[in-house]
């Protein structure tokens, strides 16, 4: 009879922990850390921000939020700023016990982040670009296509089509 509780090796546990985040989350975290390191290097600061004193990290983050631009020198959208902040936080959670999003220790960077997101909204960078709604003519074509055959796959799509309305 199998044991009720498994005994996992260190490697198995590490593999499970490392796969806790989705691939896209890992990619965003890596990108955020890379961009922050590039920023620090461009300002002649140490790229090893994990070793910064809290006040030094707060100052660097505040300046980063206010000064970050894309490769064309344009402002990022608010959503990009938000994902970079969360990515840096996820990275710091793995390396040290700090929360850059709240608390007295990061007052300056929190204020800089809020100020910059408000500025981005004022300048039109706060909106999310949504796909346009499907027009009635295209919906009719889709319905005709789904009802034109007895194919099992089309039947599944038809069920999904009607389920979306609810």
Determine the pLDDT at residue 154.
73
pLDDT at 68 over 90: yes
Euclidean distance between CA atoms 35 and 27, whole angstroms = 12
Which domains are delineated in the chain?
Answer: 10-122 (1.10.150), 131-166 (no CATH)
Mean pLDDT across the chain = 87
Determine the pLDDT at residue 26.
86
Render pLDDT for 87-111 as a digit per residue (tens, 0 to 9).
999 999 988 989 999 878 999 999 9
Neighbouring C-beta atoms of residue 120, cutoff 10 Å: 20
Comparing CA positions, the residue from 35, 23, 34, 115 lying closest to residue 78 is: 115
- Report CA-CA distances (Å) from 127 to 24, 42, 45, 120, 124: 22, 29, 33, 9, 7
pLDDT at 81 over 70: yes
pLDDT at 55 over 90: yes
- Report CA-CA distances (Å) from 84 to 28, 38, 47, 78: 7, 13, 16, 10
As a whole number, mean pLDDT of residues 107-127 equals 91
Neighbouring C-beta atoms of residue 18, cutoff 10 Å: 9
59 token code pair: 């100052």
pLDDT at 166 over 60: no
């Amino acid at each position: 009879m199998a044991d009720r509780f498994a005994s996992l090796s260190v490697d198995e546990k590490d593999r499970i922990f490392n796969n806790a985040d989705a691939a896209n989350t890992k990619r965003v975290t890596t990108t955020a850390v890379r961009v922050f390191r590039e920023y620090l290097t461009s300002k002649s600061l140490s790229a090893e921000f994990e070793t910064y004193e809290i006040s030094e990290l707060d100052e660097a983050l505040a300046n980063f939020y206010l000064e970050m631009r894309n490769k064309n020198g344009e402002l990022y959208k608010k959503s990009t700023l938000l994902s970079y902040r969360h990515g840096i936080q996820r990275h710091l959670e793995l390396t040290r016990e700090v929360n850059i999003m709240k608390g007295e220790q990061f007052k300056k960077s929190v204020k800089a982040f809020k100020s910059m997101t408000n500025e981005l909204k004022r300048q039109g960078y706060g909106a999310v670009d949504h796909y346009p709604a499907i027009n009635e003519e295209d919906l009719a074509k889709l319905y005709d296509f789904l009802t034109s055959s007895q194919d099992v796959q089309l039947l599944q799509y038809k069920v999904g089509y009607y389920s979306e309305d609810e």
